[in-house]
Amino acid sequence: MILIQKPKKIIIYIIFVTNFAEMKYGELLRIRHWVKNLFIFIPLLVTGEFMALSNLYITLKAFLFFCFAASFIYLINDYIDLEKDKLHPVKKNRPLAKGSVSKTHFFIVLSVLIFLLSYPFYMLSRDSMVITYSYIALNLVYTFWGKRISILDIMFISSGFVLRVITGVVILGLIASPWIIILTFSLSMLLALGKRRGELLIKTDISNKRKALAGYNITSINAMQVIFSCVSIIVYSMYTFFNENFPGNRQYLIYSLFPVIFGILRYLQINFSEEHIEEPTDILYKDKRILISLITWILFIVFLILWSK
């Protein structure tokens, strides 16, 4: 019980400090990007396991782990690319590059994250911990090597999202659906390509851009985004037809495809516009249509599950 109570106090304190104290630490930890870790909740939602509070609790613990892990990777990446970021028109505003956070404070925050990532509070099961720490290892390989190679770089990013979903499956003692895994990878590739497209459109010296961008151009990225959009829609359609494990009313599950299609098309509409997207996750905060389509999908899935009870 003590092991549970102490981390709770630490987590509440960290979240309070980063959100309500100086915003520079919130930016340093990239709290806005924690929304990516909501992928962990997908298995909880589509299997109806959210009905049990114990399942919600362990999924929340995994979510917090991935939030701290993501911030840890961001800090490592910021330190490695510090000099390049100072010359970048957008990244120069990051706290470390701008100098609003000193290196001393930077390493203090990094140390706190390392402590949180090694604390036994997260020990759920051996399999889940292997996956979660594999996520950190994967991102370290990406940071030091993978991000320099085009195509492979976005596959690294997408694999990280797949590991999030697999973690959400394993901690609940479920079997991973191939449809969900393929769909997660496909959607992640779509988002990662959007990020690369935005980076290409930023006007800056080529030496200050990531090496992987040399292997991309707008035409090829547009083509790949169309491919992965089609794959995502087709795979989700197949999921609604052939997923025998869905606990809700399967007869009407196909209608959940409509907000999915709308969300993907709206994303492409924004992505193919003249305005570049530095961070695709920002669309979720700024575009109400995509946010509404996501909320509509979630509510519809919950409705189908509760309807069948």
Mean pLDDT of 50-56: 91
Mean pLDDT of 43-68: 92
Least confident piece of the model among 63-67, 121-125, 150-154, 281-285: 121-125
Give the pLDDT score at 78.
94
Residue recorded with tokens 């547009």: 222
pLDDT exceeds cutoff 80 at 11: no
CB burial string 193-214: b at 16+ within 10 A, e below? bbbbbbbeeeeeeeebebebee
More confident residue, 84 or 274: 84
Mean pLDDT of 118-140: 82
Give the pLDDT score at 204.
66
- pLDDT tens across 102-125, in order? 899 899 999 999 988 887 555 677
Mean pLDDT of 219-230: 96
Give the pLDDT score at 150.
95
- With cut-offs at 50, 70 and 90, classify the pLDDT of residue 1: very low
Average pLDDT in the chain? 87
pLDDT exceeds cutoff 60 at 5: no
Structure tokens at 263: 């969300």
Q: State the Cα–Cα distance between residues 112 and 198, nearest whole angstrom.
A: 32
**DSSP class per residue in 71-119:** HHHHHHHHHHTHHHHHHSTTGGGSHHHHTSS-HHHHHHHHHHHHHHHHS
Mean pLDDT of 298-304: 96
Give the pLDDT score at 206.
57
Q: State the Cα–Cα distance between residues 141 and 146, nearest whole angstrom.
A: 6
More confident residue, 275 or 195: 195
> What percentage of residues in the chain have a pLDDT greater than 90?
58
Mean pLDDT of 264-279: 81
Mean pLDDT of 258-271: 94
Mean pLDDT of 20-44: 84
Least confident piece of the model among 136-140, 193-197, 272-276: 272-276
pLDDT exceeds cutoff 90 at 177: no
Sign (positive/negative) of CA torsion 70, 72, 75, 77? negative
Give the pLDDT score at 208.
62
More confident residue, 144 or 176: 144
Give the pLDDT score at 90.
83
- Other C-beta atoms within 10 Å of 116: how many? 21
Work out the widest C-alpha separation in the chain, in whole angstroms.
Answer: 59
- With cut-offs at 50, 70 and 90, classify the pLDDT of residue 4: very low
